[in-house]
Amino acid sequence: MHAPGTIGPMTPEAETTPEAEPTPEAGTAPTAPDEGATFADLGLRPELLAALSRLGYEEPTPIQREAIPPMAAGRDLLGQAATGTGKTAAYALPVLQRLPDERPGGDPLALVLVPTRELAIQVSEALHRYGRDLGARVVPVYGGQPIPRQLRALEAGVDVVVATPGRALDLLQRGSLRLGGVATVVLDEGDEMLDMGFAEDLEALLDEVPEERQTVLFSATMPRRLDSMARRHLRDPLRIQVAREVPTEGEAPRVRQTAFVVARAAKAAALGRVLDVESPTAAIVFCRTRDEVDDLTETLNGRGYRAEALHGGMSQEQRDRVMGRLRGGTAELLVATDVAARGLDVEQLTHVVNYDVPAAAETYVHRIGRVGRAGREGVAITLVEPRAHRMLKTIERVTGAPIKVERVPTVADLRARRLELTRAALRESLLGDDLERFRGVVETLTDEFDVMEVALAAVKLAHEATGGPDDEEEIPEVTLRPERPRRDGDRGDRGQGRPPRGRSGPGGDTERLFIGAGRSAGVRPGDLVGAIAGETGLRGRDVGAIEIAERFSLVEVPAASADEVIAALKASSVKGRKVTVRRERSPA
């Protein structure tokens, strides 16, 4: 056990205000690099810089700027940061940086603990991508996957293990996971792990890693129980919080701010829908990486928008050309990274779109500062994936301005809007155009039809000629789980099996969903809870009773979220395959 850390006492308020002023350790904190620092300025090795450049990351996010140098230097760290801040890379890069060049042994040098299967996969993929040129061997282990495969992967030799706590403990007890060589332990989403009932497993695991290790904890909130765990297991940790800068009064511009919560798979369609309804004169859509910029530009052009990409990988000449097209009105949408859009001033800009919730509140403020100038109306639109909704709350608190969460326009909304545009165009024509030469057409038709009928046919043709394609499918609505006080002592899913909890799980109205995979496909309760918690705004404990039959499973979820869960599970996979998901048919 370590000497107690020097973390200050947490007030109850601090449990839900991640942006509260931090208390860095006196005298020991290396000064964080300035805003504008590059990844190279953070002292990362060339192999990692090459990977980041390949991935199109143009600059570190604030949590990365602050966490990478001290963590790479071996310091314990306590980071309060939510999903969407870039926290994964903030710890993954230093973990890789610290790997020795020669790694003859097969036992892990770093252990990353995460609450869900989805996160384990996501984090191990990130480590794998960043660590490719270093030859880093990364193995995810989680409940639900057959143990033999994980045993083989561990036996083959591993540098970093990314694990859910239950499975890590299981493998440890079998003697397959050997932690004697671990130099760094990262606990990611600490609050979620406690929420899911992993407290004892975490304690047991932390007691098994060498005392001389580095320990790093990331969590969106800092409930008391987590704080006391940090006091016991972290040594003189540096404390880092993102989004703590409060803009000075008047800095946050007066802009209509809205957000739409959408599943990742539906984002491009949702953006198209929102743009159709908003009809911006000129808009900038901000993305995180160059690749995202290129992909989204292509998608939007495919949907009939005139979109141009702008990112740091382009030459000055290319950028100038793009800006010329936007200013001249040939392009209506600019899809850009923050770096590329820096200093850019487009007068006719009406809309700023955040394709993801920005990694820091300051970024949000800078971005939306580009509209709403000189008394003109500006609109800021943010697309929020369910897991990133906390960051949105943080931004709201920091900017002091409410962001209205709205429903993605439905097909009916869109039709109404298109009809409205046709009506406005006809009115304009009636007021301004010389329509005399069409009089003969109307007069001959009125011999046979009523004037109203003639008008209806003319409107139909005008509408079809100007309107876009009549829209596709409804975009599933995602409801955000309301923030709730946390309860201590809650023991939920351990990632590999849980007793059915009857109707007590979600509370309130529930619905049972049929999922077309069961025991024969190797499905276990943890797979379903993990898939649901990973893809929707629900948490493990919102999921109720689970029954696993041979060929199918039944899962109880809050009725209000049933559509969301169905859409999310259909868009993703259960045990690596696409499955049927629908409401359970009530017995005849």
Residue-wise over 335-360: b if at least 16 C-beta within 10 A, else e? bbbbebbeeeebeebbbbbbbbbbbb
- Select the span of 84-92, 175-183, 260-268, 319-327 touching ligand AMP (CB under 6 A): 84-92
Chain center to CA of 457: 46
Q: Is 305 in the site for ligand AMP (CB under 6 A)?
A: no
Site for ligand AMP (CB under 6 A): which residue of 66, 71, 88, 336?
88
In this complex, which beta carbon is closest to ligand AMP, that of residue 84 or of residue 237? 84
Our finding on whether 389 is near ligand AMP (CB under 6 A) is no
| Cβ neighbours for 375, distance < 8 A, ≥ 6 positions apart | none
C-beta closer to ligand AMP: residue 37 or 425: 37
Closest CA to 255 of 338, 354, 322: 354
Rounded least distance, CB 23 to ligand AMP, Å: 23
Q: How far is the CB of 571 from ligand AMP (least distance, A)?
A: 17
Residue 219 binds ligand AMP, judged by CB under 6 A: no
Under rule CB under 6 A, residue 289 binds ligand AMP: yes
241 binds ligand AMP (CB under 6 A): no
- Cα–Cα nearest to 586, from 518, 528, 512, 517: 512
Q: Does 65 bind ligand AMP (CB under 6 A)?
A: no
Q: Is 242 in the site for ligand AMP (CB under 6 A)?
A: no
**142 binding ligand AMP? (CB under 6 A):** no
Residue 390 binding ligand AMP, by CB under 6 A: no
Radius of gyration of the chain (CA): 27
Indicate whether 124 belongs to the interface with ligand AMP (CB under 6 A): no
Under the criterion CB under 6 A, does residue 190 sit at the interface with ligand AMP?
no
Q: Which of 86, 166, 272, 312 lies at the binding interface for ligand AMP (CB under 6 A)?
A: 86
Q: Which residues make Cβ contacts (< 8 Å) with residue 406, sequence separation at least 6?
A: 258, 259, 260
Please report whether residue 350 would count as binding ligand AMP according to CB under 6 A: no
Counting Cβ atoms within 10 Å, is residue 242 exposed (0-12), middle (13-18) or buried (19+)?
A: buried
**# of chain residues touching ligand AMP (CB under 6 A):** 13
Which of 288, 351, 367, 539 binds ligand AMP (CB under 6 A)? It is 288
Q: Least distance (Å) from ligand AMP to the CB of residue 40?
A: 13
Report which residue type is found at 462.
A
- Residues 39-58, one symbol each (x = binds ligand AMP by CB under 6 A, - = not), give ------------------x-
Which of 455, 385, 382 shows the shortest CA–CA distance to 422?
455
Residue 61 binds ligand AMP, judged by CB under 6 A: yes
Q: Which residues contact 167 (CB under 8 A, 6 or more apart)?
A: 141, 142, 143, 150, 495, 496
Q: Give yes or no for a contact between 161 and 155, defined as CB atoms under 8 angstroms apart.
A: no
- Greatest distance between any 2 Cα atoms in the chain: 97
Binding site for ligand AMP (CB under 6 A): 57, 60-61, 64, 83-89, 288-289
